[in-house]
Amino acid sequence: MRIASAAATRLVEEVKHNWILVKLKTDAGLHNRGEATEWPGSSSTSTRTAGSSKAARAILICAAGYLGGLSMFRICVAALVWVLTAPAAAQAQLPGTAPLTGDGDFALSMVDAIRDYLLRETDRVAAGRERFWKRDFSSRSAYERSIAPNRARLARIIGAVDARVGFTGLTLDATTAAPALVGRGRGYKVSAVRWPVFEGVEAEGLLIEPDRPAVARIVALPDADWTPEALAGIEPGFAPTAQFARRFAESGCQVLVPLLIDRSATWSGIPGIRMTNLPHREWIYRMAFQTGRHIIGYEVQKVLAAVDWFAAENRGRAVPIGVAGYGEGGLIAFYSAALDSRIDAALVSGYFQPREALWKEPVYRDVWGLLNEFGDAEIASMIAPRGLVVEASAAPDVKGPPPATKERGGATPNGALVTPPLEDVRREVERSRQWFAAIGAARELEFILDSGGGLPGSDQALSALLRAAGANVNIAPSGNAPEKLRPSFAAAERMKRQFDQLVAWTQRLIRESPLRRAEFWSKADSSSPERWRETTQFYRDYIWNEVIGRMPDPSVPANPRARLVYDRPKYRGYEVVLDVWPGIFTHGILLVPKNIR
């Protein structure tokens, strides 16, 4: 591209450093993301808006969305420079461009093309995951060492990174008006308990203890919209076959049943200012995302805190440790077992499947960069050679967020949970089996196929978990529901406590973020412009690769096309289309002052 004069060069430099406002926008269900960015190759970043520049003021509105801001930014800047270096005479056609023709909606066509590109990229990156793995199958210890970096990366992207607090025992949740003992069944008792996770954050739920020495210790996780009491059979509403926490207790297991944050929207908002229809899980997800945390990571940490206690109890008498979950609980159980080898076996029901259509699921399941390295099969490989039982039960029926009303709105509108085809589940299980077999543990992966549309907790699945964990017992025949000893219980109050604690913890992280940023930036040397430029290259790469998302550089000529759409006394507006990759273009409006000199 030819620079016409030194004045134009100075003008471009001023625009580079100070006076471009870029608005990245997207549509059609993609995540909105606008980032202050640095002009590639410059040593400063500015977020100042267009104001009092004596040279020129230009507003470039460029749709880039998920394609990665800087790649698209570079192309949009090229169009601006083209204009700034062209003759100043009034022209209906933007200099250096071909006429833009067509009456269609270019913005919609652009989003459609981007969507198709991202779907193709999702399939492409799934085929290339092996480059992140250096598995060593020579021994169990070698395998554990070889997947340690993958475990660390999974923990980081789900936000399971905060140190848990230590504790010596569970707290019985009792008052003078309400004892901790809430139920009793044949051969076991049920107590309301709490246990610490982070400072100011506790897990709450039920402890079910057998009357005899436990044959195993199990964390049983309900779906997000189920209560621990329902899973234990204390509260009605679910078929006895789905009450797998009770079934484990009847079989002699010690069982902890944590509460998960639900999908209602009761407290999602700021009372007196604005309430929303965001599911509680999405409300926490949105604020946690900005701190590198996640609702998934928080709940995994609650499970691992329970495992901490189980491991301490095992110092006196060691028995197997297992996790079992359904729906959202299946997700949490699955990730917990992948991250912590103290868990001897896991049962995942109503969750396991190919994950390439994750974008169709609720946004609170979205994990930044997950599919580059991890599908469900890859996560399963981090459980090997321990036991994994996959039960093909029906997924929770979730059609989206709570309905929007005049008073409440703002939730991501898409995001449903549906039962996947059985063949999809089977295919992902078989993909997992290659790694179990490679380490000599093919029999440790079991696929339990009932009808594929039934309730979780089949006898076959529960027995398989106990065997895989090493308990060497089968599940006992289902008994009667336990006697309810707590006449009344405000489950909503417990949910609000759990919700408020995670909100408060996340807001604390946000308040402390300046300290974390100072630590992160500690290697940047500001002693001279040269040292600053050298020592901040890492940060430029980091924000591009890890925060914004680096996309490939444009692979085709820009082929700029434009047409005049505004002619105002002080500026002209051009609709501009630029090619980026084959079949992918960017579209926007370029506003050009008439007094450019």
Other Cβ atoms within 10 Å of 293 Cβ, number = 24
Other Cβ atoms within 10 Å of 7 Cβ, number = 14
> Which fold would CATH assign to domain 185-511?
Rossmann fold (3.40.50)
Q: Please count the helices (runs of H) and the strands (runs of E) in the chain.
A: 16, 20
- The rounded distance, in Å, linking the Cα atoms of 260 and 21 is 42
Question: Rounded to whole angstroms, what are the CA distances from 394 to 240, 242, 370, 400, 564?
Answer: 16, 11, 24, 17, 55
pLDDT tens, residue order, the chain (597 aa): 333 333 333 233 333 333 222 322 223 333 333 333 333 333 333 333 333 332 222 223 332 322 333 444 444 554 455 544 544 445 678 999 999 999 889 999 999 999 999 999 999 999 999 999 999 999 999 999 999 999 999 999 999 999 999 999 999 999 988 899 999 999 999 999 999 999 999 999 999 999 999 999 999 999 999 999 999 999 987 888 899 999 999 999 999 999 999 999 999 999 999 999 999 999 999 999 999 999 999 999 999 999 999 999 999 999 999 999 999 999 999 999 999 999 999 999 999 999 999 999 999 999 999 999 999 999 999 999 999 999 999 999 999 999 999 999 998 888 999 999 999 999 999 999 999 999 999 999 999 987 556 899 999 999 999 999 999 899 999 999 999 998 888 999 999 999 999 999 999 999 999 999 999 999 999 999 999 999 999 999 999 998 998 888 999 999 999 999 999 999 999 999 999 999 999 999 999 999 887
**Cβ–Cβ < 8 Å for 203, 305:** yes
Other Cβ atoms within 10 Å of 516 Cβ, number = 12
Segments making up each domain of the chain, as ranges = 6-119+537-593, 185-511
**Cβ–Cβ < 8 Å for 372, 132:** yes
The bridge status of strand 181-185 relative to strand 188-198 is: antiparallel
Q: Per the structure block, which two tokens stand in for 559?
A: 């082929």
Find the helix or strand (DSSP H, E) in which 122 lies.
helix 106-127
Question: Rounded to whole angstroms, what are the CA distances from 514 to 44, 322, 481, 510?
Answer: 20, 39, 52, 8
Q: Where are the beta strands (DSSP E) in 312-441?
A: 321-326, 345-349, 387-391, 408-409
Instruction: Flag whether the pTM goes above 0.75.
Output: yes
- The rounded distance, in Å, linking the Cα atoms of 330 and 323 is 9
Ramachandran area for residue 240 (φ above 0: left; ψ -120 to 50: alpha; else beta): alpha
- The rounded distance, in Å, linking the Cα atoms of 91 and 101 is 17
The pLDDT score that the predictor gives to residue 454 is 86
Question: Rounded to whole angstroms, what are the CA distances from 438 to 298, 338, 353?
Answer: 32, 17, 21
Helix, strand, coil distribution of the chain in percent, nearest 5: 40, 20, 45
**Cβ–Cβ < 8 Å for 433, 446:** no
The pLDDT score that the predictor gives to residue 323 is 99
Q: Per the structure block, which two tokens stand in for 563?
A: 């047409």
**Closest Cα to residue 563, out of 550, 553, 582, 576?**
576
**Closest Cα to residue 348, out of 358, 338, 333?**
333
